[in-house]
Amino acid sequence: MEIIADTHLHLYPCFGLDRAFSVFLDRFQGEEAHVERVACLAERYDCFYYDRLRAGEDLLSNFIVEDADENSLVLRRKNDNRALTLLPGRQIITLERIEVLALCTTATFTADMRAADLIRDIRQQNGIPVLPWSPGKWFGGRGRVIDGLLQSFTPGDFLVGDVSLRPVGWPVPLLMRKARRLEYRIICGSDPLPFSEEENSFGMYASRIETVDNDITPAMMLSSLLANKAVNIAGLGRRSTPFALFHRLRKNAGAKKKQTAG
């Protein structure tokens, strides 16, 4: 089985949801055009779009929402019958101000937990913990916390995330290199920012994952990465250029300023 999974997606009130999912479906051409798409949500504390879609709320005009199983939805585009799998998940900020993702779970988690305790809690809820790289957040004291997590846990406990916000030409961060040496699996995601038009980044940076097992769900496939059972995983797409990243971060800062002023 083979999937293209964007493993770091947020949905925000300022997004056009139909646009976001269509962009992901149309992102890759050629041999990737017909590979199954998987959108892994990591929803902010105040966003519950997965629950709203599952409950039947009318949030999409161009897609039909179908139940796949208890932990996934299928979004089928009306005009061409193409579909993607939508997986639930949460974004949590720990006591140490480290971002942790809980993929493939509908559970909610307490903010301000220590990162180590949160990772254990996510695993107990059958979720997949991910430590995503983030600009400026893997240095100093927070970097030492990340380093400690890499040392005290094993590759079977959590995944490491690379994101489109790590600009092209930026060296692979030291802690990400260390994670690779320790055989942690690294997955890729777009990590859209909370301002209008960022839905156009859906699928820009993703993982192409293959296994020899065809009788497996996308969520099980991602879980298999913790057991190192995936045959192959590779980054697909592109990260932001330095200029594009500057533009994205500036627009994000402007949106935050406008929200604060309002």
27-81 pLDDT per residue, tens? 987 777 788 999 999 999 999 999 999 999 999 999 999 986 778 999 999 999 9
Domain spans in the chain, listed from the N-terminal domain onward = 2-261
Mind listing the pLDDT tens digit for each residue in 191-250?
999 999 999 999 999 999 998 888 888 898 899 888 877 678 999 999 999 999 999 999
CB 237 within 8 A of CB 206: yes
Q: Are 173 and 162 in contact (CB under 8 A)?
A: no
> Does residue 260 surpass a pLDDT of 80?
no
| CA-based nearest residue to 52, from 86, 92, 77, 80 | 86
Write the pLDDT tens digit of every residue in 3-33.
Answer: 999 999 999 999 999 999 999 999 987 777 7
Per the CATH hierarchy, to which homologous superfamily does domain 2-261 belong? Metal-dependent hydrolases (3.20.20.140)
Q: Are 43 and 11 in contact (CB under 8 A)?
A: yes
Return d(Cα 240, Cα 201) in angstroms, integer.
10
